[in-house]
Structure 1
Amino acid sequence: MPNSSADEFLQQAGPRLAALVGELERCASPVEVAWALCEFSGPALGLADCVVYLLDGDGRTLTQQAAWGPKRAASRVLESRIRLRLGQGIVGHCAQQRLPQRTADARRDGRYVLDDQFNLSELAVPICIGDALFGVLDSEHPEPGFYGLAHEHALYAIAERGAMRLRALAGTADTAPG
């Protein structure tokens, strides 16, 4: 994808990520962090949608906590929430493996879980630091092959900043979930 919003973001990553960190520092809860990540990522990267799943207290399931795009019914209100087990769907695999998962055509990926509407491309990036998993930053797009390496790098950098704030909110890395 030539000169995408993700490429432009990466060219100016330093100051843009610093602005995100400033916004995250004002977040007083994990759910506020989730909303801040979505509200930053969607416009900054020109995404069709963006959803944050946070790891539940049981350490085995992820629940949608925030969204940017069609799933968002109103200001910081989700239309509906999906809950996935670790290993379930592209998001669950991302969380289980703690590695980004990018699919160019969901019709050919048996892990795809339908949410509010069918999309062809999906990119899921773990929100983690080391072995401490906090959740997944996920985006879907109606065009096949939409996400490139620049999108993956940009979302990963954004998710990493979110993980740092979530770790701080948890108290220490030792008390982090996952």
Structure 2
Amino acid sequence: MSFTTIPLTGSKPEQYDQLLSQVRGLLHGERDRVANAANLSSLVYHALPALNWVGFYFYDGTELVVGPFQGLPACVRIPLDKGVCGAAASTRQTQRVADVHAFPGHIACDSASRSELVVPLVDGDTLVGVFDLDSPEPGRFDAEDQAGLEAIAAAFVQSLR
């Protein structure tokens, strides 16, 4: 089976609706989290502008462990009390950070990253991990990005059921 991405057009919310439709098609019928995370990180990395890292960290019961991603090599393990990913996992709330250098305890896996958006992946009461996006541009992510990426993260979690 081949998958062709469709260029995104229109307003940012319309683009996220189009991307979510592509995500659902990509994940349809597959429940393996590694396969879905690999394809999803690639799709988002190539579909959205100004990103230098897109990927997943999975919760192993103690800490976050790097999963499939696109970008430069990443930190392998992140404690729940460290960095933007740890904050998203421990609070179970999306973290949208305009300037990662101003975030207390930021973990600089890629020194080029300037802003970050991390969506917690939660299935019922169970923490699955986080969906992490980095950008070399300060302030890259806004509320529309957050809403669109939260919907994509929810589709990923749904695909695991």
User: TM-score over 0.5 for the alignment?
Assistant: yes
CA distance 1:134–1:14, shift in 2 (3 Å): same
Say whether residues 1:107 and 2:109 are aligned partners. no
Deviation at 1:139, TM superposition (A): 1.0
Unaligned runs of 5+ in 1: 72-78, 169-178
Q: Secondary structure at the match of 1:113?
A: coil
Say whether residues 1:150 and 2:150 are aligned partners. no
- Report how many aligned residue pairs link the two structures: 153
Structure 1 segments of 4 or more deviating over 4 A? 12-15
Match among 19, 30, 33 for residue 33 of structure 2: 30
Aligned twin of 1:43: 46
Unaligned runs of 5+ in 2: 1-7
Rounded to whole Å, the distance in 2 between the matches of 1:81 and 1:15 is: 31
Rounded to whole Å, the distance in 2 between the matches of 1:90 and 1:30 is: 22
CA distance 1:117–1:147, shift in 2 (3 Å): same
Deviation at 1:82, TM superposition (A): 1.7
Match among 21, 29, 41 for residue 24 of structure 2: 21
- Percent of residue pairs bearing the same amino acid type: 30
Maintained 8 Å contact 1:45/1:151: no
Letter in 2 for 1:52: F
Deviation at 1:54, TM superposition (A): 1.2
Deviation at 1:45, TM superposition (A): 2.3
Rounded to whole Å, the distance in 2 between the matches of 1:98 and 1:6 is: 31
Maintained 8 Å contact 2:74/2:109: no
* TM-score (norm. length: structure 2): 0.83
Aligned twin of 1:61: 63
Rounded to whole Å, the distance in 2 between the matches of 1:61 and 1:25 is: 29
Maintained 8 Å contact 1:128/1:159: no
CA distance 1:8–1:134, shift in 2 (3 Å): farther
Rounded to whole Å, the distance in 2 between the matches of 1:109 and 1:7 is: 33
Maintained 8 Å contact 1:37/1:159: no
Deviation at 1:80, TM superposition (A): 4.9
Deviation at 1:128, TM superposition (A): 1.8
Deviation at 1:9, TM superposition (A): 4.9
CA distance 1:6–1:138, shift in 2 (3 Å): farther
CA distance 1:25–1:81, shift in 2 (3 Å): farther
Q: Secondary structure at the match of 1:51?
A: strand
CA distance 1:41–1:9, shift in 2 (3 Å): farther
How big is each residue's C-alpha offset from its partner over 1:72-122, in whole Å with a ceiling of 9 and x where there is no partner?
Answer: xxxxxxx35521122321101101111100111122112210113342111
Aligned twin of 1:125: 119
CA distance 1:13–1:110, shift in 2 (3 Å): closer
CA distance 1:123–1:14, shift in 2 (3 Å): closer
